[in-house]
Structure 1
Amino acid sequence: MQAILNVAFPIFGVILAGYLAGRWRILGGEATGALNAFVSYFALPVLFFGTLARTPVQAVLDPALMLGFSLAVVATFGVGMISTRLAARERGRGGLAAMSLQGIASSWGNVGYMGVPLCLAAFGEAGLPPAMLTVIVTAVVSMVFGVMLIELEVAAGHGPVKTFLRAAFNVARNPLPMSIALGILVSAVGVPIPTPAEKWLDLLGSAAAPCALFAIGLFLSDKSIKSGLAEAGLATIIKLLLQPLLAVLVLPFFIDLNSVAGKVALLMAALPTAANAFVLAKQFDISVEQNTAAVLLSTAFSVISVSALLVWLRVS
């Protein structure tokens, strides 16, 4: 109960504040876009870079954690693809692109906007390096692999190499992976950061957690569930139950679950579907209703599942 009050309640409370601000029309669609842009292009990248640039590389690039977490993400991606094939068979929505988007909804947790603030609240600065590693893994597996599969159907005839390069370029130009890579590079080279720059990084980076959580609430307030509940329900079950279960079973072969990195990996595996699933569906105009519903349903039910996991992990 202490974990719910000390960690989960503040996190979901900020999300609720953003949701209410949107529903009560205190902030509208333009505010949502502006806040998302601030978080995506400024606050979170600065937080990631500032933390990693001052953290030894060996404390971040943990091959065991990377491999163990990747297996859980890849497995749920595959199960998600199969689930949409079965659910959509009679309705003719079971193409490769739709399957890939369901795989993304089932495996891509909200590791950036929700996961990093959650780990920061639960474990302090020690939780940030492993949390950022899971961001890397999730982006590479779900975005590169998932977008490549979507493009294979949408842009048929362009060839797999060109499709892969296009997907990889989309990840490379994303400010979050870019800031992570740059922060690791600065740490590896050992470039000293001047005190004024450090204070700037800390000041701007401290805005990342509350603004990201508030932005989630604003995003959810503008969406509604109209259809696609079958696929969304399956994606929610896979994301909130199967992925953390797989993490519990697989991760002990690679890392100690009682360590901070182990607990961070379990929390990241239990997070709801990222809004990126909706963004990609909207971009390709495929399975928009299903992925929107998956984001809404999984976020709503994660209030219970994530809180329960925090209690189980004895996080206070």
Structure 2
Amino acid sequence: MNALINVVLPIFGIILTGYLAGRLEVLGRDSAAALNRFVFYFAVPPALFIATARAPIDKIFNWPFIGAFVGGSMLTLPIALVVGRFWFRHDVATLSIAGLAAVFGNVFTMGLPLLLTAYGPDGALPSIVAALSITLLLICGAIAVLEGARATEPSALRLAVQLAGTILRNPLVISPLLGILFAITALPLPKVASNYLDLMAAAVAPAALFALGLSLIDSKLTGNATEVIWLTALKVIANPALTFALVTYVFVLDPLWSQAAIILSAMPIGANPYVIAQQYNVHVETVSSAVVVSTGMSLVTLSLLMIWLGVG
């Protein structure tokens, strides 16, 4: 019960505060977009850089953790693809979006603040390693499939350029990679720069959660209700269950990292699947609804999970 009171309720309390600020029109509708941009470009990158730059390099390349977290997603993905193809009759492009939604959790704007609240500064690194792993693997994979599906004459070179451009434009990928460079080379960080980055990073948890709540104002429940429920169940129930099996029976991890792998696997569907769905105009309504429903459902599933793990 302490986990629910001390960790989960404050997290969802800030999300609710953001939602009410928008619903009561204390902040205008443009505020959500502005605050999301602040989080994406100015708050999260310093947090990712600082956490990786200061971490021992063996902690960054925690292969058992990566294996457990990514492995849980890779075991969930075929289930989503098989059901999507033979039950929902999706084509290749739609399958890629549905599959991405089933395994890409909100590890940045929700997972990172939650683990920071639960474990303090030690909770940052698992979130970063998990986010970097699935971003490089799943986002690049989904874009490659979508580009290949819509190209009349698929070009390996064009796909490679597209993927490289996507990665190089993403501050959430570049910032931890720069941090890893600092960790490997042991480059000193001037005190003034360190203090500046620490101040910016401190805004991540409240700003990201508040922005998430504010952004729910314009979300609408449309699309295939059956598939929305199915994708939600895959993400917040099946994914963490499979990760738990890997943590328990396959990989050896210390308690914090093993709990972090399970908790991060239980995150609701993140915003990136929706952004990509919009960009390619594929399965937009269903993915949008799944983001909202899974976020609401995670209040229950994460509460039960945190209580079961004894976190907080």
Report the TM range for the smaller structure's normalisation.
over 0.9
Preserved CA contact (<8 Å) 1:143 1:171: no
Which sits farther off after the overlay, 173-182 or 145-154?
145-154
Preserved CA contact (<8 Å) 1:49 1:183: yes
Preserved CA contact (<8 Å) 1:23 1:222: no
Report what 1:39 is aligned to.
Answer: 39
Preserved CA contact (<8 Å) 1:74 1:141: no
* In structure 1, distance between residues paired with 2:20 and 2:127: 28
Report what 2:239 is aligned to.
Answer: 243
* In structure 2, distance between residues paired with 1:79 and 1:312: 26
> 1:7 Cα deviation (Å)?
0.1
Of residues 288, 299, 310, the one that matches 2:284 is 288
Report what 1:214 is aligned to.
Answer: 210
Preserved CA contact (<8 Å) 1:83 1:231: no
* In structure 1, distance between residues paired with 2:161 and 2:258: 33
* In structure 2, distance between residues paired with 1:160 and 1:67: 28
The letter of the residue matching 1:204 is M
Preserved CA contact (<8 Å) 1:151 1:163: yes
> 1:56 Cα deviation (Å)?
1.4
Q: Residue by residue, what CA displacement relative to the aligned partner does 1:113-138 show, whole Å, maximum 9, x if unpaired?
A: 00100110111111211221101111
The letter of the residue matching 1:254 is F
> 1:164 Cα deviation (Å)?
4.1
Of residues 268, 279, 297, the one that matches 1:301 is 297
Report what 2:25 is aligned to.
Answer: 25
Report what 1:230 is aligned to.
Answer: 226
Alignment of 1:4-83 (within 5 A): 4-83=4-83
What is the DSSP-based 3-state SS (H/G/I as helix, E as strand, rest coil) of the residue aligned with 2:88? Answer: helix
Change (3 A) 1:187 1:158: same
> 1:99 Cα deviation (Å)?
0.5
Q: Unaligned stretches of 5+ in structure 2?
A: none
Preserved CA contact (<8 Å) 2:68 2:261: no
The letter of the residue matching 2:120 is G
Q: Residue by residue, what CA displacement relative to the aligned partner does 1:185-242 show, whole Å, maximum 9, x if unpaired?
A: 1111111112111111111100011111111111211111022212211110100111
The letter of the residue matching 1:6 is N
What is the DSSP-based 3-state SS (H/G/I as helix, E as strand, rest coil) of the residue aligned with 1:225? Answer: coil
The letter of the residue matching 2:300 is I
Which sits farther off after the overlay, 239-248 or 138-147?
138-147
TM-score, structure 1 normalization? 0.94
Which sits farther off after the overlay, 123-132 or 99-108?
123-132
Report what 2:88 is aligned to.
Answer: 88
How many residues were matched structurally?
A: 311
> 1:308 Cα deviation (Å)?
0.6
TM-score, structure 2 normalization? 0.96
2:252 is the alignment partner of 1:255: yes
> 1:53 Cα deviation (Å)?
1.1
Preserved CA contact (<8 Å) 1:102 1:231: no
The letter of the residue matching 1:63 is W
Which sits farther off after the overlay, 9-18 or 148-157?
148-157
Q: Residue by residue, what CA displacement relative to the aligned partner does 1:17-57 show, whole Å, maximum 9, x if unpaired?
A: 11112222222332111111110111000111112111111
Q: Residue by residue, what CA displacement relative to the aligned partner does 1:99-156 show, whole Å, maximum 9, x if unpaired?
A: 0100111000000000100110111111211221101111122201112112221224
Q: Unaligned stretches of 5+ in structure 1?
A: none
Report what 1:163 is aligned to.
Answer: 159
* In structure 2, distance between residues paired with 1:25 and 1:124: 33
Preserved CA contact (<8 Å) 1:45 1:176: yes
Alignment of 1:130-209 (within 5 A): 130-209=126-205
* In structure 2, distance between residues paired with 1:79 and 1:131: 25
Preserved CA contact (<8 Å) 1:83 1:234: no
* In structure 2, distance between residues paired with 1:178 and 1:96: 30
The letter of the residue matching 1:23 is R
> 1:264 Cα deviation (Å)?
0.6
The letter of the residue matching 1:15 is I
Preserved CA contact (<8 Å) 1:73 1:141: no
Q: Residue by residue, what CA displacement relative to the aligned partner does 1:275-309 show, whole Å, maximum 9, x if unpaired?
A: 11111111111111100011011000000001111
Which sits farther off after the overlay, 2-11 or 47-56?
47-56
Preserved CA contact (<8 Å) 1:21 1:218: yes
Report what 2:107 is aligned to.
Answer: 111
